[in-house]
Amino acid sequence: MLENHFKRVENLIQYYQDTQRNQPTHKSLPDLYQEIQERLKKLAQAFADSIKNKILENKQNILQAKDNVKDKINDSINEVKNKAINKINSSILAVNDRVKDFSSSIEEKFNTPEKKPVQQQSNDLAKEMGELKKAVNDLSSQNKLLESRNQELQEKVKTVEKFLTSDKEIFKQFDDFLRNENQKEHQQEKTMAVSKKREQEMSL
């Protein structure tokens, strides 16, 4: 884009050189100078517009990519949450079933006319308690795994937000740069206008 712009400028200057060499005009030097300046200004404006359009296009692409990333992250978070909820619910149901079975077995033992030896009852009770404790430990481990996974997702979200924030800062700096360049261009135009006016006054 920049190379094409300077190529157009070179072609414009070459055009005026060839015109003056082959077909001299009767225009005064200030008028010819003004004409060249106007055409150079139009080329510069066209170049600036093409840059702005390119920036807007890239910015739109980045915003679209940002939305896609956020959607994917949200989908991933929702998927993990749903899986976690289902896993916890199933684990709770499993524990409840174990508790019910344990309660039923205790009631059955005490309601059965034919009692088992005390040692056998103690062994069965210890076994049931061990299974219940294992189920509770499994549920605790699953909760810790879920917390770890959620923390990883939060870190990813922070990284993406930091990336998007840095992009906004870059665009702001570039906008400031373009604004400063426009101010310089206006100042140069004023200076050139004053110089032209002085030249005209001196020629009178």
Q: How many domains are contained in the chain?
A: 1
Q: Crossing angle for the helix pair 29-111 and 118-203, nearest 10 degrees?
A: 170
pLDDT at 2 over 60: no
To which residue do tokens 């749903």 refer? 82
Mean pLDDT throughout 46-68? 75
| pTM, full prediction | 0.30
pLDDT at 164 over 60: no
CB 80 within 8 A of CB 149: yes
Task: Return d(Cα 151, Cα 169) in angstroms, integer.
Answer: 27
SS3 101: helix
Nearest to 69 by CA among 158, 171, 148, 169: 158
Range of the domain at 56: 2-203
The pLDDT, as a whole number, for residue 14 is: 64
Average pLDDT value over all residues in the chain: 68
Share above pLDDT 70 across residues of the chain, in percent, rounded to a whole number: 41
Mean pLDDT throughout 180-195? 76
Lowest-confidence range among 56-60, 75-79, 111-115, 129-133? 111-115
pLDDT at 69 over 60: yes
